[in-house]
Amino acid sequence: MENIATYPEWHQLPFSLTNAELINPKEVVEEFCWQFSLSEIRTLLKEWYAASLSDDVADSKSIFITYTALEKLIEAIYQINKMETPEE
């Protein structure tokens, strides 16, 4: 994995969340859980993993939708952590 220090500072900030989502990132988590059941996201991730190891053509639309949702989820989790962790 590449050293994080080589990324620009803006890359350490959420950029796929809207202002409303930045203020209330838990809504992003709720939306993700509504959009994907736990078993569904596990299945999709397993399919991505299998596709990465084979020559099969993956469903690019499904991958794009899931990737976008996962990116927002990850940014929301970091935002929640930032909001709930006292600064030192």
At residue 5, the pLDDT reads 67
* Whole-angstrom distance, CA of residue 15 vs CA of residue 71: 10
pTM above 0.85, yes or no: no
At residue 9, the pLDDT reads 83
**Tally: H helices and E strands in the chain:** 4, 0
Domain edges within the chain: 20-84
Query: Is pLDDT above 70 for 13?
Result: yes
* Whole-angstrom distance, CA of residue 4 vs CA of residue 26: 26
**Mean of all residue pLDDT scores within the chain:** 87
What percent of the chain clears pLDDT 90, i.e. is strictly above it? 55
pLDDT tens digit sequence for 23-60: 999 999 999 999 999 999 999 999 888 888 887 766 77
